[in-house]
Each structure stands twice: as structure tokens, then as C-alpha cells.
Structure 1
Amino acid sequence: MNATTGNEAHDNTENVDWAALAPEGGERIPELLEQVATSDSALSDLHDIIHFPAPGHRAAPRAVDRLVDIATDEATQPADRWRPLSLLLELVSAHAEDRFPQHRDLDQWRDEVAWAISNDAEKVRAQYRTWMEEAPDEQHHHRMRNRLAVMEADDGAELLRAELETYEAVLARVPDLVTLLHGGANRGGLDRAGEWVSYLLGFLPGDAERISAEITGASQVLLAKDLRPAPKAPTSMREVMTQGLDSGEPLPAELFALGLVADPSDVDTTVGLVHQMAGGNLYNSFAASVALVLIHGENTPREGLRRIGRGGGTSMGYEGLFNESWPHCGNRSPQVLGFLALGRAGDRARRLRLDILPGLIKGEEESRALVTGAGLEIVLGPRSRGYTVEEHAQADYDEETLKVLWAIAELPASAWQDEEFTATLSAWALPDNAEEFCALVGVEPETETGEETEAAAPQRQQPQQQAPTGLLGRLFGGGR
């Protein structure tokens, strides 16, 4: 690790006017950078000042090199490297929901920021509103909505430029960051640097070839177990504390990153992931299966989809397995990000995503509107198509559509107080209150008590005993 040279080359924090870049707390940034590796409170405070789109985010590009230097410095304890890495991850994964299922085109991003900087702010806002309304899918809708929200600030265009510059600053340090994939000290224990840097690298497809090569070289992912050399026994206590911690197995987070950066034409990586998929380690099998879906999209081998579904049926469930291999970015859980990312396989992953969706709609309050919109898009098409109340009243929806609508209808009354959630329903011209929505799909509104919830379930399960109305009735021959 070439840490000393890197620090000398990049540590220019003393020459930065932090207070000018971050009026709210910027003067504290140098001190917080010195403490960030060992202090949770310093990490939290620094994040609050420079995260996107906080007003102080204009300081973020200037902090990147120092954060990378701290993470890669040999003087930084391996158990402390996760802190600067976690902050870097938050800086490059802001609004992670608009990064999936498809990567953001870096050249197009640069052109967009240049356009936003060079034009009148109100003109830019108006264009973002149009793009948001006409977006071809939910990913682009959320991206445009998030951009519009940033542009509402007086210095919105500068914040958009700082976000891009931050990404490019981290991208430039990939050669240093990949060194943290190597060595037992980085690959073993809790909060291991190899895991956190893998999460970070997955969001940097701009250097995909290098990242993919480094991940496959850091572990034995390209070799089946029966072809791997026997591990060497440690000969000293130092080796016990370093190499002895590294089993040679790829980390689940490395498989996450490979899914986002590996080339579909790289046959060796695909074969290596297949070995992991069938290797008996539940976590790596699941992570490798998801990675195959992300790499090959609509050409995904059916086996990969089947194994993801099988993992969802284990005691760990989708939530536990995604938690093991995918990062938690901002207020988006690993399972939500994984659900969105599986959309890369298009209709190939349709049934799988519809299997995951009901649990997310019911359990992910922070992302309920987001996953509801994604689910409605799967079964009804994009919101920009234009829907009418009459269209729903006359529709004869299939079982998959009703599965999504039932999951929404079974939400507790408190869910309907979420304005973003009800606005999402309105985008498809669906009722935005529980009573009307449940009447449309032919189920009783859910209540807040578990006993009443269980009592209501059979009313949907037994349409022949209670003549249903609405969509459910039309599907099963009830009244219209």
C-alpha cells in the first residue's frame, strides 16, 4: 500500500476555505477529518455537513482525497477504515434509488450538469418538471424528481456540480481504493475494510474493468473449491492476525460489486459466479445469483433466478440475504435496492420481483412509495402513459396485478397518511384513500390490530362465500 506517497500528494486540506464552501459548520471540517477514523461522532458530524444535497456538499469534492488517504494509510487501524469508507459510500450513492436498475451514463451526467450550470435556474426547473412527467420509467422519474428538488435551492446548480465532482474525485482514486481488497486484516473480522470498499466500488462503474480485475484477483472467486490450493498454515503470530483471517472466499460484498461492474462477455467471471452459486454457502450463493442477474440482464440463466427465489424461502428470507451482501445507503435498505436492481432482467425477473414486493410494501415505510411505484409499473406500465379512473373501473386485471393491488389494500390506516404514497397511487389514477381503494379491489380495509387483520384475510380468500366487488369480483366471477 503506497499510503505515505498518497498522503503527501493529496493532503491539501489546509489550503481550502472550508467555511466558504460549507457555511454551516465548514470551519470544523479539518478537525473532523483528523478524527473521522476513530470517532463515530466525528463521522456523523462530518456527514451532516457535507452529504448531498446539504448546503455544505460543495465542500465534499475537496474532502474526498483526505478521506481516501485516511482509509488507505497503513497507520490507520484496519478496524477503523470502515468509517471514512462509509462516508465515501454515502457521498457517491446519494439518491441510490435512481441508480438502479440501469447505471447512470457518466458522459450524459456531465453534459446535464454543464447544461444546468449554464442556463437560467427557472428554465432548468421547468425542464426537469417536463422530464419528470414524461419519464419512460420509474428510475428516470425519480432521477428527474430528485434533480428538481435540488434545483429548488438557490445554489442548486452548484450542488449538482459538486455531486458530479465528488463522484469523479472518488473515481480517480480507484487505484488506491482497490488495495483494500487485499490482505487478511482487510478481509476478516467485523466492519472489514474489504467489505466497505466493495460497496463503494460497486457504485463506480466508470472504472469497471480495473475494479472487476482487482476483485477477482483478491479472492479465489474464479476457482472452484476443488481446484484451489490448500491454505498455508501461519508461521507467526503476525500471520495469524493477518493472512490467517482470510479464508480466500470472496466476500458477499465483492459479489455485489461484481454484479455492477463485470462485463457480460467475461466468461471466467460468469463461471466463477456459477461455482459460487452452487457452492453451498447460502450467503455467497444468493449474492452470486443476484450478481449473475445484474450482469446478464434479460439473458440471465434461469438457474440464477431460481436460486434467488429459493433463498427468499429460507429462514433468512430476502431481507436477511440482501442485508448480508448489499449496502444500506441513506434511507434505502439493501432489500429495496436489490429489488430495484433486479429490474435489469426485465420480464425474466418479473415473477421474482412480484414475490419480493408485498413484503416491501408492508414493511418498508421509508421506501413504501418508491416500491409501490415500481410494483405498479411492473403490472400496469409506466405512470407517464396516462391513466383514468374509468379505465380502472372497466379493467379486468390478471392475478399478478391483483397481487400488487391486494398488498396495497392490506396496508394499515396509518400508511394512507403518507402523502408521497398516496400521490404515487394518484399517478396511476388509483384511489388515494383506503376506503375507495379497498372497494375497488374488493377487500375490507385493514385495521391496526393483528386480530382484526387475521379476521379480514379470509374475506379475500373465499370469494364464493362473500360476493366480492370491484377488480376481485370481475376476476373470480362476482358482481360488477
Structure 2
Amino acid sequence: MNATTGNEEHDHIAEVDWASLAPEGGERIPELLETAATSDGALSDLHDIIRFPAPGHRAAPKVVDRLVDLAVSPETSDMDRWRPLSLLLELVAAHPEDRLPQTTDLAQWRDEVAWASSNDLEKVRAQYRTWSEEAPDEQHHHRMRNRLAVLEADDGVALLQAELDTYEAVLARVPDLVALLHDDRNRSGMDRAGEWVSYLLAFLPTESERIVSEITSASQVLLAKDLRPTPGASATSVSEAIRQAALGSGGEPLPAELFALGLLGDPTDVDLTVGLTHQMAGGNLYNSFAASVALVLIHGENTPREGLRRIGRGGGTSMGYEGLFNESWPHCGNRSPQVLGLLALGRAGDRSRRLRLDILPDLLKSDEESRALVAGVGLELVLGPRSKERTLEEHTRADYDEETLKVLWAIGELPDDAWEDEEFTATLAAWAFPENAEEYRALVGVEPEDEPEPEAPQSPAQAAPAPGGLFGRLFGGR
């Protein structure tokens, strides 16, 4: 593994004034970094201190190099590399709704932070408030709203600067991180380093060309199965040896690699499109679904119809959208993989409209944490952006089509406690809908679902065994 591993270039832990950068627990950072690769508790505590936008996030840029060194060090167990990688992912994509469906424009981000740093704080807050209210779409609204929330703190500008510095510190270590894609030990078993590093790399679009090249050379994603070398087969000639070397020694691509290719792939890369098509038509349900989503994300409005069809077909399987997204997409911040998928499919515009409307109702019911976000996505899909002026009277007179009613009814069928969420009701108000459950349901013509009857308690002999599943992720699962 050709990577920098805890050398003097990056080992300045003792020289940092951690208590100053992170007033709440900063003095513990050196100790926590010592065991961050082996202890769930240490990793969780470190996350709580430096996560964005906690006050201690100003220390995050100083932690990046040490976390990368831990992830790539030969001294770190293959089964432990995921821990520092998972924390790096949380630092880079704490608010993934800011990054999807459109990727980050790094030059604009730098300019924005420089502008905020050089102007009066009240002026900056007022401008972000205006940008949030006048945002052309939900992604821009949430990005501006999230940054405004950070700026409510006295050191908010410093936190915004630290967020950018953390991102750029991770960017600088891409040459080391991509090495984790190539070692077979990082591509097998539970919590594979190749999986976690793919999640992380997917959010670094400024290095997309290099990352895509490394992923495609680390696996055989570009090859149909009948063209792949047989494992363990010896070359019978010099020309055959050269051919096998050119094909590469990697195996099946990881679903997480297909996720990364979807976010980073170039629509003009014909080889990648053909390779993903092979995966889409293969017998592996998870890779077929992940490759179908990747094709849609890469080609957007020009996406092949077959990709859309296969995503819909996957949603109709016993795994459903939730299970299939859970297998290939990460859990970032408080957003589930399925929520990220719903957001990202917006890259295809109207081409993915029916798919997103198919995913949305069940997601509204099941994901309480992101309910307001999902409701906003649905309302934007059928009614246009929240910045458009509307009135309650317009809704009363409107004769809405079937797709619009599907979204409005899905919202109306939510339980009463959904209306106790201020972010959810504020989302409804942004489209001029009532913030009261009874008034909303009366307006859209829907009856609340009856609460299920409580089940009679079972005896131990009758109780079913708890379902199995993948090992729970530190930050909420994949």
C-alpha cells in the first residue's frame, strides 16, 4: 500500500492547541485519536467533539491527516479501517442534502466563505436569509438555510471556514485514500475499507477523474464476465500475460463503488457506460440496482430508459427501494440511504419524476428524521419551487392532477404527531398549505389513517426471533 502512514509530515498532534479550537472536550482529542481505529467509544466521542457544526469543528481540519494515516496504516487491522473512514465521511458530508443532486462547486464555495469572512456578520446573516427564501430549488434552500443556522453562532464564520478547510484537507489525501480500493483484503468481509472509502470519495467531485480511474482499475466493472481472466489461471503466452495484466486483477465491483461512479462519472465516458450496462444486466440484484441508479445519475436528462425501468423493477422486489439503497448507498449525518437516493435522482429531472413519486409516499411514512425534507422534495416535484408566491385560496380552487394528489394525500395520511414537527409544518406553509393537520386534510380531501390496534402480548414461546441483518453502523447504519 503506497500511502503516507503516520509519518512526521502529518504527526503534529502534540503541537496543536486543541482546547482552544474545541472548548468542549478538545483536550481529549489526542487521546481519542490514539484509539479511534479500535474503539467505537473513542470514535463516537471524537465525532461529538468535532462534528459539523459543533463548536469544536474548528479542530476538524487538524484531525484529517491523522484519521487518513490511521485508515491506510499497515499497522491498522483490516477490520478496523472503516472507523476513521466513517468519521471522515461524517466530516465531509454532514449535510448531504447540500450536495445532492448537484455536486459542490469548490470555487464558488471558496468565494462564498471569503465573502462571509470579510463582511459584517449581520449583513452576512441577512443575505443568507434572503438566499434561503428566494432559492430556486430545495437543494439551494437547504444549503443556504444550513449555513444560516451555523452563522447564528458568534463564531459561525470560523465554523464555515473550518468546514471548507476540512474538505480541502481530505482532498489533499486522495492519493493515499484511493490505495484502499486495490488491496483484496479491503474488498471482502463486513465493513470493508473499500466500501467506506468509496462512500467518502464519492463526495469529492473535484477529483472525479482520478477517483473514477482508480475505481475502474481496482475492479472489473468495465468488463463483461466472459472477458474477465479466470482467477488462478496461468498465462500460456507472453501476449496472454500482457492481456491479463491490462484487464486487471480485481473482482466484482462493490455496490459502494457503483454509488461513487454514479456521482462522479462522466457522461462522455463510453467505456464506463458500457461497463455499468453489463452490471445492470448481470445476475447480482444489488449491483444491478446500483448500476442502474449510477447510469441515471451520470446521464441525467439523457438517461437510458432501461436504467429507469430497472430501478423501478428493483423497487418492486421483496428488498424494495429501502433495502437496495441500504446495500449500496451510505448513511450520512441523519439522512438515510433512501433519502440520498431520492435527492440524487433529481439529476435526471422529469425523466426520473415517476420513480421519485413512487419512492416518496413510503419514505414519508418511514423516515421521520427526514420527513420535512422529503415533503419539500415532493411538493417541489408537483408544484414547483417554494419561492413561488401562492395563496390558500389558489389551493382551494385548484383542480390538481393525479401526481399532485398522490403527494398531497401521502402528506395528509401521515399521523397526527407529524404536525408536531415545526420544520415539517414550516415546509407546508412555504407552499401556502395549512399548518394544522385537520385543516390540511380537509383541504386536500383525505381522512387520517386509523391508528393500529395494539397487539396482545406474546408469551416467550410465541415470540418470533429478532430478525438478522447487517452489522449496525456507528452513525446509524448504511
Which residue in 1 is equivalent to 2:366? 363
1:401–1:5 CA distance, 2 compared to 1 (3 A): closer
Which residue in 1 is equivalent to 2:394? 391
Which residue in 1 is equivalent to 2:324? 321
| Percent identity of equivalent pairs | 81
State whether structure 2 residue 52 is matched by structure 1 residue 52.
yes
- TM-superposed deviation, 1:443: 1.9
Q: Distance in 2 between matches of 1:206 and 1:4?
A: 21
* 8 Å Cα contact 1:287/1:325 also seen in 2: yes
Q: Distance in 1 between matches of 2:309 and 2:4?
A: 48
Which residue in 2 is equivalent to 1:43? 43
AA aligned opposite 2:139: Q
1:194–1:103 CA distance, 2 compared to 1 (3 A): same
State whether structure 2 residue 307 is matched by structure 1 residue 298.
no
* 8 Å Cα contact 2:58/2:158 also seen in 1: yes
What runs of 5+ residues in structure 1 fail to find an aligned partner? Answer: 235-245, 452-480
AA aligned opposite 2:262: G
Which residue in 2 is equivalent to 1:437? 440
Q: Distance in 2 between matches of 1:202 and 1:351?
A: 26
Q: Distance in 2 between matches of 1:5 and 1:198?
A: 20
State whether structure 2 residue 335 is matched by structure 1 residue 332.
yes
AA aligned opposite 1:18: W
Q: Write out aligned runs for 1:458-469 (5 A).
A: none
* 8 Å Cα contact 2:198/2:257 also seen in 1: yes
Which residue in 2 is equivalent to 1:164? 164
1:291-321 deviation digits (Å, cap 9, x = unpaired): 1111111010000000000000000000000
State whether structure 2 residue 205 is matched by structure 1 residue 202.
no
Q: Distance in 1 between matches of 2:250 and 2:62?
A: 37
Which residue in 1 is equivalent to 2:153? 153
Which residue in 1 is equivalent to 2:106? 106
* 8 Å Cα contact 2:5/2:69 also seen in 1: no
Which residue in 2 is equivalent to 1:26? 26
Q: Distance in 1 between matches of 2:62 and 2:267?
A: 35
1:255 to 248, 254, 258: 258
- TM-superposed deviation, 1:11: 1.5
Which residue in 1 is equivalent to 2:132? 132
1:141-191 deviation digits (Å, cap 9, x = unpaired): 000000000000000000000000000000110000000001111000000
1:192–1:385 CA distance, 2 compared to 1 (3 A): same
1:37–1:5 CA distance, 2 compared to 1 (3 A): closer
1:385–1:450 CA distance, 2 compared to 1 (3 A): farther
1:455-478 deviation digits (Å, cap 9, x = unpaired): xxxxxxxxxxxxxxxxxxxxxxxx
Q: Distance in 1 between matches of 2:217 and 2:166?
A: 27
State whether structure 2 residue 417 is matched by structure 1 residue 424.
no
Which residue in 2 is equivalent to 1:237? none
1:86-132 deviation digits (Å, cap 9, x = unpaired): 00000000111111110121100000000111111110000000000
AA aligned opposite 1:181: L
- For the residue of structure 1 that corresponds to 2:382, the secondary structure is helix
- For the residue of structure 2 that corresponds to 1:366, the secondary structure is helix
AA aligned opposite 1:445: P
* 8 Å Cα contact 1:7/1:66 also seen in 2: no
AA aligned opposite 1:351: R
* 8 Å Cα contact 1:216/1:222 also seen in 2: yes
Q: CA RMSD in A?
A: 1.3
Q: Distance in 2 between matches of 1:50 and 1:188?
A: 30
Q: Distance in 2 between matches of 1:3 and 1:299?
A: 39
Q: Distance in 2 between matches of 1:438 and 1:387?
A: 18
State whether structure 2 residue 82 is matched by structure 1 residue 85.
no
Which residue in 1 is equivalent to 2:458? none
* 8 Å Cα contact 1:413/1:448 also seen in 2: no
Q: Distance in 1 between matches of 2:201 and 2:17?
A: 29
Q: Distance in 2 between matches of 1:332 and 1:5?
A: 32
- TM-superposed deviation, 1:2: 3.1
Which residue in 2 is equivalent to 1:455? none
Q: Distance in 1 between matches of 2:370 and 2:7?
A: 39
Q: Distance in 2 between matches of 1:130 and 1:38?
A: 45
Q: Distance in 2 between matches of 1:450 and 1:125?
A: 48
- TM-superposed deviation, 1:449: 2.6
Which residue in 2 is equivalent to 1:212? 212
2:312 to 304, 309, 312: 309
TM-score, normalization by structure 1: 0.90
Which residue in 2 is equivalent to 1:173? 173
State whether structure 2 residue 67 is matched by structure 1 residue 64.
no
Q: Distance in 1 between matches of 2:213 and 2:106?
A: 21
| 408-417 or 151-160, which deviates more | 408-417
- TM-superposed deviation, 1:9: 2.1
State whether structure 2 residue 382 is matched by structure 1 residue 379.
yes
Q: Distance in 1 between matches of 2:362 and 2:10?
A: 46
1:14–1:249 CA distance, 2 compared to 1 (3 A): same
Q: Distance in 1 between matches of 2:108 and 2:147?
A: 14
Q: Distance in 2 between matches of 1:233 and 1:315?
A: 38
Q: Distance in 2 between matches of 1:391 and 1:296?
A: 36
What runs of 5+ residues in structure 2 fail to find an aligned partner? Answer: 235-248, 455-478
Considering fraction of residues, name the structure with more helix: 1
Which residue in 2 is equivalent to 1:11? 11
